[in-house]
């Protein structure tokens, strides 16, 4: 659970929580890639939640993309 936390974007995490079914985080030195698994029917509401949260993030830089196929959540055997 701690690996899925990025304190710098707490406002974004809280605002989008109702629409996110799963999260995957890849941390690097001074940035993180955060993947949200969102149902197709919730993408519009998720984007609106992101927009609301961005106003509270201050100087944090966030780029959103997608929707994309859920490759970040696939397990390869």
pLDDT tens by residue, 21-66: 999 988 887 788 999 999 999 999 999 999 999 888 878 888 888 8
pLDDT (average), residues 3-13? 79
Instruction: Characterise 66 by phi-psi region: left (phi > 0), alpha (psi -120 to 50), beta (else).
Output: left
Which pLDDT score, from 0 to 100, does residue 3 have? 56
Which pLDDT score, from 0 to 100, does residue 6 have? 80
Comparing 3 with 50, the larger pLDDT belongs to 50
Which pLDDT score, from 0 to 100, does residue 4 have? 57
Domain boundaries, the chain: 2-69
- Total residue length of the chain: 77
């Amino acid at each position: 659970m701690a690996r899925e936390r990025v304190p710098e974007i707490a406002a974004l995490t809280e605002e989008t929580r109702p629409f996110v079914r799963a999260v995957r985080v890849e941390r690097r030195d001074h940035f993180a890639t955060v993947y949200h698994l969102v149902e197709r029917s919730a993408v519009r509401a998720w984007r609106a939640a992101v927009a609301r949260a961005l106003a509270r993030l201050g100087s944090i830089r966030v780029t959103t993309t997608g929707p994309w196929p859920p490759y970040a959540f696939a397990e390869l055997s």
